[in-house]
Amino acid sequence: MELFQRTRISNIIEIALVFLTLALANSRVVESRKHRPTPLCNFQAINCRKHSAVLTDFGGKGDGKTSNTKAFQSAINHLSQYASDGGAQLIVPPGRWLTGSFNLTSHFTLYIHEKAVILASQDESEFPLIEPLPSYGRGRDAPGGRYISLIFGINLVDVVITGGNGTIDGQGSPWWVKFRADKLKYTRPYLIEILYSKQIQISNLTLVNSPSWHVHPVYSSDIIIQGLTILAPVDSPNTDGINPDSCTNTRIEDCFIVSGDDCVAVKSGWDEYGIKVGLPTQQLVIRRLTCISPDSAVIALGSEMSGGIQNVRAEDITAISSESGVRIKTAPGRGAYVKDIFVRRMTLQTMKYVFWMTGSYGSHADDGFDPKALPVIQNINFRDTVAENVTIAAKLEGIKGDPFTGICMSNVTIGISKLSKKKPWNCSDIEGVTSKVSPQPCSLLPDKEPGSLKACDFPEDKLPIESVPLKTCSIIGGKYF
């Protein structure tokens, strides 16, 4: 049965990737025909740049063997002088560009050609150690410091990482082997991490095989993440797709993710460290997301949520062969809150759970957490959801003496698998209401509005990040386009 299940999941992934590849190929053909008469390549960005350079201008070699760490950093350091003069962009042309970690600069665009692959070095010395995040107090994998991410930025303004669906390959397999064997003293590097920054765009790229999380904006604001294809083996450890962490005003849209962990994980710090820093993730929009993650959630809230999570809006979510649709993960000691969460129009196929909330997640940073720091979970809203081939409709477990309140579900139809022998609903220490939900929910979620669709209304106002326009920018094509 396990072999059959893995084969089935593999087939689903292959089919999904075929459709995605065809769609991308068609769009590229249209784009190619559109621009063939001119030497220009156009792309969308929050800001365009006055100056431009190509990685080969700084000694870069795209042979897949030569380290380009110095070339990347030399190019970026040189281009940083134009930050106050219209900014600059660095073009990564066709080729396979092996590199260790490099740091970005402000008013800067990193453009990765559709036939370019940035390959992360598998040499640990190419990833210097940095301090743990203040809101975590330690590395996520191990106490102490952590390896810096492949593409890193701190205290930046106006940064774009984009391309014609170019690829960043984390080559994470050796890191996964060492992690499983407990041979790493420090936390694995992420693929892209941006700290203490604003006006960030990450778009139109294929990200594969990160050593750990793929995209991790932290302590940042005004972020647009769109058009990403993120791929990692479904059994790879902690290869989350996109993890907004203590961020404000973020837009995640039109992304396709196959992951060994949560496709999107919303975070804000860990236990006493997150409580002390106190920076929430808020004003977050997630829309048109497609996810495959057999062992994890499509959207997870937590478990590191000790700075708070508020005002999250997710819509038009599709999942295939994933463990759960939306999952809230918390525990005594986390403190803070998860509140004002709105989700609508989920279409789910072959799931273990549709809804999953747990107040006993555990996994503490250390023994210094306060067990009396209880999280507040309230005003959690779901509507207009269809799911098929589901093992359990919902597992909703609050905290004794600290129930999860204000849960609302409306217009939800869940098709339970004929092979399932589990109770469809498991509820404890929660409070809420439902309307037009099938199969019939547990008694703690009574039907208070029979036949009504007014429950769990999605907000009508727009968050500020939804109104941020993108400009059409150009690259002089030359021999590369």
3-state secondary structure 388-454: EEEEEEEEEECECCECEEEEEEEEEEEEECCCCCCCCEEEECEEEEEEEEECCCCCCCCECCCCCCC
Q: What is the DSSP string of 337-351?
A: EEEEEEEEEEEEEEE
For residue 308, count other CB atoms closer than 10 A to its CB.
Answer: 23
DSSP 148: P
Strand partners for 315: 287, 344
Query: For residue 377, which of 443, 324, 327 has the smallest C-alpha distance?
Result: 327
For residue 11, count other CB atoms closer than 10 A to its CB.
Answer: 11
Q: Is 461 a catalytic residue?
A: no
Q: State the catalytic residue, choosing from 169, 245, 261, 271.
A: 261
DSSP 132: P
Query: For residue 120, which of 96, 138, 100 has the smallest C-alpha distance?
Result: 100
The type of residue at 462 is K
CA contacts within 13 A on the Cβ side of 90 = 28
The length of the chain, given as a count of residues:
481
- Cis link prior to 332 (omega < 30° from 0)? no
Query: For residue 149, which of 202, 113, 198 has the smallest C-alpha distance?
Result: 202
Q: How far apart are CA 228 and CA 216, in angstroms?
A: 13
DSSP 71: H
Helix or strand run (H / E) with residue 280: none
- Residues with a known catalytic role: 261
